[in-house]
Structure 1
Amino acid sequence: MSATMIKEFRLPDLGEGLTESEILSWKVAVGDTVSLNQVIAEVETAKAVVELPSPFAGVIKELHEQPGSVVEVGKPIVSFEVADDAGASPAQAPGAFSPGMGEAPAEAPSAAETPKREPNLVGYGAVVEGSGRPTRRPRNFAPVEASGNLAPVVEPARPADVQVGHVQPAERPRSTPPVRKLAKGLGVDLAQVHGTGPGGLITREDVQDFAGHGGEPAAPPAGPVPVAGGTRPGERETRTPIKGVRKFTAAAMVQSAFTAPHATEFLTVDVTPSLELLAKLKNSREFSGTRLTPLTLAAKAVLVAVRRNPALNSRWDQDNQEIVTFNYVNLGIAAATPRGLMVPNIKDADAMALPQLAQALTALAETARAGKTQPADLSGGTISITNIGVFGIDAGTPILNPGEAAILGLGAVRTMPWEYKGEVALRQVLTLSLSFDHRLVDGEQGSRFLADVGAILAEPGMVLTMV
């Protein structure tokens, strides 16, 4: 019988220098046997929901954190019982991840013994006091997709009972950490409580009502459950913790708004020819089965216009006092989700032909809806598009995605009276809104870029004169 030992897995930095993550759910329980790289938990960073693979093959000995806990990078989250002869680092196995901080035994090494960050599953672990600034590993950015249609990208609620691996823990009632703490103090089993909050969320009042009825399950309300953001009768306000994506987005938008001097220009164009072109392309063999929308053509127009106006595809490097002009385009597509605003980007979009670009846009939307957008997909963007027209809005003043020089807003396509060949006719019209960083982009450059995008959408054949 071989000897065993206890190994701890510490929460890794999930690749973007993030300092903490929230444990959303465990996919395993104490006593479960797990294999190397089996998904053991789902965590939410300030940018995305990420699945954590197991760095060891062994038995789950202890779960140090409960769902809903916000854990700092480098803190132990789970302990494994592994065989001594199986204790080699998974990094030595072909195709396996390097566990790094997860490889540490139950007794963590002192700062003197650990002079720097060590590689782990994703990115690097916490900086040990007194160590120098770590060097990042190069990352592979796989192309992602974007919403081909003009509908908002909506991420569905994550099912609590999706089975990952060979073990499925019981479904956990939806509630917040303060409510779970209250329930524990009152001796209330949340599994017996009927949630009356948004989407069945268990509220403080639900727990108190349950406890007040002597532990008997309260009857479901006769009326409809209030929608997200609503209130129950008698409630005058709803408080929601600021965390995760919304917390990160809020900080990023404030920094962008008060760091980059925004300027916004508007252009209204007749896009009837673009819509006619889309109708023809949908019937062609090359685009068979491909989702084509006005966003597809707008994205291509932006890529062509950027080539003629490179200042729009640049970044202000404050630390080095340099202007960085990118010779590639990672095209961001703003996506509104229940977790907050996300701007995943299509890597090297400028190298894609229209069919590939359309497929990438569709893939981006499906990834966002499935809640599978990864931190790497949200970083490295160089210029973005936001589709406010899906909400019936004609124009706005988009805020720049931090680190980018420009963002183009697409308004709603409307049938309007318009001058056409010397007469007034009903045409398909939309308004473009371009916000740009005036440190990087002069008014002339921004105007030329916007005029190029408008010219392409008004007459797609103009592309032949621009490439």
Structure 2
Amino acid sequence: MTTMTENASGLREFKMPDVGEGLTEAEILKWYVQPGDTVTDGQVVCEVETAKAAVELPIPFDGVVHALHFPEGTTVDVGQVIIAVAVSGGAAAPAAPVAEAVAVPAAEPAPIEEAKPEGRKPVLVGYGVAEASTKRRARKGVEVPAQQGETLYAATALQAELNGHGVAPAQRPLAKPPVRKLAKDLGVDLATITPSGPDGIITREDVHAAVAPAQAPAPAAVPAPQEAPARVQAPAPAASYDGARETRVPVKGVRRATATAMVGSAFTAPHVTEFVTLDVTRTMRLVEELKQDKEMQGLRVNPLLLIAKALLVAIKRNPGINASWDEGHDGKAEIVQKHYVNLGIAAATPRGLIVPNIKDAHDKTLPQLAEELGALVATAREGKTSPAAMQGGTVTITNVGVFGVDTGTPILNPGESAILAVGAIKPQPWVHKGKVKPRQVTTLALSFDHRLVDGELGSRVLADTAAILEQPKRLITWA
């Protein structure tokens, strides 16, 4: 499908491309250019989020930005024009006339929100925690964007005109469209509200708090005893949430795709989960030794690295686990045996759970595997994981232990036959050489598709993985 067109006025239009495989829509997260900016072939002009990942879009030609057709936060169908550029020799990007800008309805600007976590939080499941980012998107200088399908920043002409005559434009309170509607329905002037949301955005709770005093019942005509006011209190639940009883968050993008995939997997593949608790003291010692090894310098070495390597060795010893179930177009089901391992690592991101995978992980040496894991977590932290990085996985690891959880029953990633969950590693009393001693202990849980993996095969894979982690020298003898 072509992603650009040109009209007689010298404008070239860039359409929303299919940045995944067969995706039908994407949400515009951020614009990097504005009308009047010069762009060159290959320059990134915006960031969009599909059902699989956040992707940056480069413009495929040179020129001057004429119009942005959709504001940030808008979900756009593949094939719709999102930006128009005046190419060399064509029409320049015109400033919208003042009259047109005034006629533009005061549509709600897409709020600029970005998570501002405090401290450190898990980013990659099983790969430690990431430093919280304090970076925020730059606030746009325009308060009144045009409606969808018109020039996004038409109001800039009006603002420039007012500033040119020495008139300071009034600052419009920041609030989402549903919050504006709520304030209108309740008769609340947003300009009188002190915002509590990020970057000065007025929330639903702020509106409810502003209207609560006006809706309070009038005091009784007969004076109450002096101690009565002390006994009369607002209900505790309402007070603890500033009047808000619930909050609704749209399910879209990665989170919606994940939910759909997990429901499909849970009700399509018959899941079986097995557990084993094991002593990983020797593995933890090996982790510390490898950190000092010159071959591993500059690489991130942690328990997940050795767990991944142990699982790869177990798969090599039991290749039947590395397969998928194919119903076939003619109704004749087939088991597709994979002769490669694309090892998925579950990653928790602000947009939802994603599972990028390390291609051909079975061929990687330990330093190469450490390097791939490091690159994977860095990309996940930046929110730049590409759709290609999440396709073609064969087996997945999810480490719920990073949250202090002992174990779980993981759901298969669609198209895969097995997923290994790793619990928290912590000291526990353990019988070692005939005596009870404190040892480093964890629990592994392996879920598998019982259509193609029977109990014996699943048990062998789990037992081999555990045996390697108990005696890591088997990484050499069994490999």
RMSD: 3.4
Partner of 1:389: 401
C-alpha contact (below 8 Å) 1:400/1:436 kept by paired residues = yes
Q: Secondary structure at the match of 1:389?
A: helix
- Which residue matches 2:196? 196
Decide whether the 8 Å contact of 1:26 with 1:40 is kept in 2.
yes
Q: Using the TM superposition, give the Cα deviation of residue 386 of structure 1 relative to its aligned residue in structure 2, in angstroms.
A: 0.3
Letter in 1 for 2:258: T
Taking structure 1 as reference, are residues 36 and 252 closer, same or farther at Cα in structure 2, changes over 3 Å only?
Answer: same
CA contact (8 A) 1:330 1:380 kept: yes
User: In structure 2, do the counterparts of structure 1 residues 452 and 393 end up closer, same or farther at CA, with 3 Å as the change threshold?
Assistant: same
CA distance in 1, matches of 2:47, 2:31: 6
Give me the whole-angstrom Cα distance separating, in 2, the residues matched to 1:65 and 1:192.
30
Shift of 1:44: 1.1
**Structure 2 contact 400–423 (Cα < 8 Å) conserved:** yes
Determine which of 428, 433, 438 is the counterpart of 1:421.
433
2:466 corresponds, among 445, 454, 457, to 454
Q: CA 1:423–1:209 in 2, change beyond 3 Å: closer, same or farther? A: closer
1:151 to 116, 121, 128: 128
Question: Structure 1 residue 347 and structure 2 residue 359: aligned?
Answer: yes
Q: Shift of the alpha carbon at 1:299?
A: 0.4
Secondary structure of 1:83 counterpart = coil
CA distance in 2, matches of 1:362, 1:231: 42
- For the residue of structure 2 that corresponds to 1:369, the secondary structure is helix
* Corresponding letter in the other structure for 2:137: A
Tell me the distance in 2 between the aligned counterparts of 1:174 and 1:41.
Answer: 23
Cα-to-partner distance string for 1:91-131 (whole Å, 9 max, x where unaligned):
xxxxxxxxxxxxxxxxxxxxxxxxxxxxxxxxxxxxxxxxx
Shift in Å, 1:328: 1.0
**Residue from 356, 360, 373 that aligns with 2:368:** 356
**What residue identity is the alignment partner of 1:319?**
G
1:35 aligns to what? 40
Structure 2 counterpart of 1:263, from 272, 282, 286:
272
Structure whose CA Rg is larger = 2
Change in 2 beyond 3 A, CA 1:354/1:305: same
| 3-state SS of 1:248 partner | helix
Number of residue pairs the alignment of both structures matches: 382
Distance change (3 Å), C-alpha of 1:428 and 1:191: farther
Give the aligned partner of residue 83 of structure 2.
Answer: 78
Q: Deviations over 1:279-326 (max 9, x none)?
A: 111111111222111100000011111111122211111234221111
1:64 aligns with 2:69: yes
Alignment of 1:174-185 (within 5 A): 176=176, 178-179=178-179
Q: Are 2:340 and 1:331 aligned? A: no
Distance 1:423 1:409 in 2: 29
* 1:161, distance to aligned residue in structure 2 (A): 2.6
Report the alpha carbon displacement of residue 174 of structure 1 after superposing the two structures with TM. 8.2
Which residue of 2 is the match for residue 306 of structure 1? 315
Partner SS state of residue 460, structure 1: coil
- Secondary structure (helix, strand or coil) at the match of 2:56 reads strand
Partner of 2:260: 251
What are the equivalent positions in structure 2 for 1:8-27 lying under 5 Å apart? 8-27=13-32
1:345 to partner: Cα distance: 0.9
Say which SS state the counterpart of residue 296 (structure 2) adopts: coil
What TM-score does the superposition give when structure 2 sets the normalisation length? Answer: 0.72
Question: Partners of 1:386 and 1:153 in 2: how far apart?
Answer: 17
- Looking at structure 1, the residues matched to 210 and 45 of structure 2 have their Cα atoms a distance apart, in angstroms, of 33
Give per-residue Cα distances to partners, 1:352-399, cap 9 Å, x unaligned: 100111121121111111111111111111100000111111111001
Q: TM-score, normalised by structure 1?
A: 0.74
SS of the residue 2:473 aligns to: helix
For 1:43-122, list aligned pairs within 5 A. 43-83=48-88
Contact kept, 8 Å, 1:153 with 1:335, in 2: the verdict is no
Distance 1:176 1:443, change over 3 A: farther
Match of residue 434 from structure 1: 446
- Note if contact 2:266-2:411 (Cα within 8 Å) is conserved in structure 1: yes
Q: What's 1:233 paired with?
A: 242
Check whether the contact 2:397–2:421 (CA below 8 A) recurs between aligned residues: yes
Shift of 1:207: 7.2
| Cα distance change, pair 45–254 in 1 and its aligned pair in 2 (3 A) | same
TM-superposed CA distance for 1:190, in Å, is: 9.9
SS of equivalent to 2:409:
coil
Looking at structure 2, the residues matched to 30 and 207 of structure 1 have their Cα atoms a distance apart, in angstroms, of 34
Q: 1:373 aligns with which of 360, 379, 385?
A: 385
Question: Partner of 1:259: helix, strand, or coil?
Answer: coil
Q: Structure 2 vs 1, CA of residues 71 and 37 (structure 1 numbering), >3 Å: closer, same or farther?
A: same
**Other structure's SS at 1:28 match:** coil
Secondary structure of 1:368 counterpart = helix
Partners of 2:63 and 2:175 lie apart in 1 by 31
Q: Secondary structure at the match of 1:47?
A: coil
C-alpha deviation, 1:76, in angstroms: 1.0
2:264 and 2:12 map into 1 onto residues whose CA distance is: 41
Unaligned runs of 5+ in 2: 1-7, 91-122, 141-152, 157-171, 212-238
1:5 is aligned to: 10
**Percent of residue pairs identical:** 57
Could you tell me whether the CA contact under 8 Å between 2:125 and 2:399 is conserved in 1?
Answer: no
Q: 1:274 aligns with which of 259, 283, 286?
A: 283
Contact 2:204–2:244 (CA under 8 A) maintained in structure 1: no
